[in-house]
Amino acid sequence: MVNSLFVNLPIANLKNSVEFFTGLGFAFNPQFTDEQSTCMIVNDNIFIMLLEHAKFESFIEKKIAPKDTAEAIFGLSCDSAEDVRTLCEKAFSLGARKVNEPEDIGFMFSWGFEDLDGHLWDVFWMNPEHILD
Q: pLDDT tens digits for 26-84? A: 999 999 999 999 999 999 999 999 999 999 999 999 999 998 998 899 999 999 999 99
pTM: 0.90
Q: pLDDT tens digits for 87-131? A: 999 999 999 999 999 999 999 999 999 999 999 999 999 988 876
Is 54 in the same domain as 80? Answer: no
Question: Which residues have a Cβ under 8 Å from the Cβ of 2 and sit 6 or more positions away?
Answer: none
Domain coverage including residue 85: 68-133
Is 51 in the same domain as 106? Answer: no
Distance of CA 20 to the CA centre of its chain: 10
Is 54 in the same domain as 72? Answer: no
* Cβ neighbour number for residue 121 with a 10 Å cutoff: 19
Question: Which residues have a Cβ under 8 Å from the Cβ of 112 and sit 6 or more positions away?
Answer: 73, 88, 98, 99, 100, 120, 121, 122, 123
Beta strand pairing status for 5-11 and 46-52? parallel
Is 59 in the same domain as 73? Answer: no
Is 22 in the same domain as 58? Answer: yes
Buried b (16+ CB within 10 A) or exposed e, 27-46: ebeeeebeeebbbbbeeeee
Is 54 in the same domain as 98? Answer: no
Is 72 in the same domain as 131? Answer: yes
3-state secondary structure of 48: strand
Distance, CA of 95 to CA of 49 (rounded, Å): 20
